[in-house]
Amino acid sequence: MKIKEIKVIVCSPGRNFVTVKVITDEGTYGIGDATLNGREMAVVAYLEEHVVPCLIGRDPNEIEDIWQYLYKGVYWRKGPITMASIAAIDMALWDIKGKIAGLPVYQLLGGKSRRGVTLYAHANGESINDTLDKVQEHIDQGFKAVRLQSAIPGLKVTYGVLGDKKDYFELQGNRPLPPEEEWSTQKYFNSIVDLMRQARARFGNEVEFLHDVHSRLTPIESARLGKLMEEFNLLFLEDASIAENQDSYKVIRQHTTTPLAIGETYNTIWDCKDLIQNQLIDYIRVAATHAGGITALRRIADFASIYNVKIAPHGAPDLSPVCFAAHMHLNIWAPNFGIQEFVGFGNDKSKEIFKHNFTVENGMAYMSEAPGLGIEFDEEAALKYPYKRSYLPVSRLEDGTLWNW
Ligand code: KDG
Ligand code: MG
């Protein structure tokens, strides 16, 4: 069997998605997600110019060798564009292998460790009450874990709280430029404690709460936040500080018992090696799409398992349903699975393009025995929704200083 053709298709049913389709000379094909929010077209160029030509004619069964070839063989290792490209090819090859074997990918990884995948939902509100009402909606739907984010009073726009806007494209005034928002650590500290206090008062201790800081704090500020959050018993505090310097988490860790999660921007095991082996975090949040696919995330999960670190893969709306499918197989298999972030299966346009049999019931996701990844991609439907340039916001302090994580 040989790889005959590889297509790279960009569509925008609401968010931009880059999908790769690897087609064999025997007619079997597999799909993978290469979406890199705000840098989608760089990945497309990398794939089309530098990856696809090298893979035509190769045996799609050789997943590991192709992964090593694309990672080590290029001289320029790592980086989000390279790793998203490798990830998409890797997912597609696992999809093909499963289809040929007539087995779901999780069976190829070693089989199920659990019946279903526990999810956490998002409650993002423009005020504390608004956020708490959304928590209630998720509890009513059966979710047992919810991430709480609320707009910060006194700041113009808070990251992740879009108000009446559908997406960042609208927030940026329908112009292809990044929107701008404000940050004030002092105002944030005032509001986050209120949010959690009111949430525990209203919902008691049964439901799990999570919170994402989006790396806006310095390590010592994160340490203080972790201490303040202890009484609210979070499942985890996410991205408190950036950890380009992985040692910086020692400062946070030595001060607080609040569980820590990080990793959605990481591309390789090297980005989180020290955090994991020094047990400075509790959950590693790398996404299959951004860290080199199923082959790479399996390796990170195994490494993390020996240090009591669980996987909690990134599941934002800018990862395509193909990435969610890859995570489902990894999560069902991994002995050290923690929790999966979940924001729904997208709008109707997205559902027209990506078809699958995943179901959600009482805050858990289940999968069918469909071979491969268990997700189909309708190319013709995808072509109806062309790429729309859109960026994440730029964050500035109130005096204008750039304050991105
Ligand atoms: O592209 C960036 C988003 O995916 C990210 O900001 C969302 O932090 C996020 C999360 O935890 O889902
Ligand atoms: Mg996050």
Mutate to test the pocket of ligand 1, among 260, 289, 314 (most ligand atoms within 8 A of CB): 314
Mean pLDDT of 105-119: 98
Q: How far is CA 95 from each of CA 103, 105, 127, 391, rounded to the nearest angstrom?
A: 10, 7, 43, 30
Interval 75-102: pLDDT, tens:
999 999 999 999 999 999 999 999 999 9
- Candidate list 122, 138, 214, 290, residue with the active-site label: 214
Work out the burial of residue 366: count CB atoms within 10 Å of its CB; fewer than 13 is exposed, 13-18 middle, 19 or more buried: middle
Picking from 182, 202, 179, 184, the residue whose alpha carbon sits closest to that of residue 131 is: 202
Confidence band for 405, pLDDT divided at 50, 70 and 90: low
Q: How far is CA 191 from each of CA 146, 256, 262, rounded to the nearest angstrom?
A: 18, 20, 22
Interval 220-275: pLDDT, tens:
999 999 999 999 999 999 999 999 999 999 999 999 999 999 999 999 999 999 99
Give me Rg for the CA atoms of the chain.
21
Token code pair at residue 79: 């980086």
Grouping H, G, I as helix, E, B as strand and the rest as coil, residue 86 is helix
Token code pair at residue 40: 């989608």
* Cβ contact 367:115 at 8 Å: no
Identify the residue whose C-alpha is closest to ligand 1 atom 1: 37
* Mean predicted lDDT score pLDDT of the chain: 96
Task: Out of 3-7, 167-171, 371-375, pick the least confident.
Answer: 167-171
Confidence band for 358, pLDDT divided at 50, 70 and 90: very high
Confidence band for 40, pLDDT divided at 50, 70 and 90: very high
Mean pLDDT of 145-163: 90
pTM: predicted TM-score of the whole model, two decimal places: 0.97
Q: Which atom of ligand 1 is nearest to the CA of 341?
A: 12
Picking from 244, 259, 128, the residue whose alpha carbon sits closest to that of residue 195 is: 128
Identify the residue whose C-alpha is closest to ligand 1 atom 8: 214
Give the rounded percent of residues in the chain with a pLDDT score beyond 90: 92
Distance CA 298, CA 308 (A): 15
- Candidate list 159, 168, 188, 385, residue with the active-site label: 159
Task: Out of 67-71, 173-177, 205-209, pick the least confident.
Answer: 173-177
Distance CA 320, CA 315 (A): 9
Ligand positioned closest to the Cα atom of 287: 1
* Cβ contact 375:356 at 8 Å: yes
pLDDT of 151 > 90? The answer is yes
Grouping H, G, I as helix, E, B as strand and the rest as coil, residue 73 is coil
pLDDT of 203 > 80? The answer is yes
DSSP for residue 150: E
Give catalytic status of residue 266 as yes or no. no
Give catalytic status of residue 366 as yes or no. no
Token code pair at residue 229: 């959050």
Confidence band for 14, pLDDT divided at 50, 70 and 90: very high
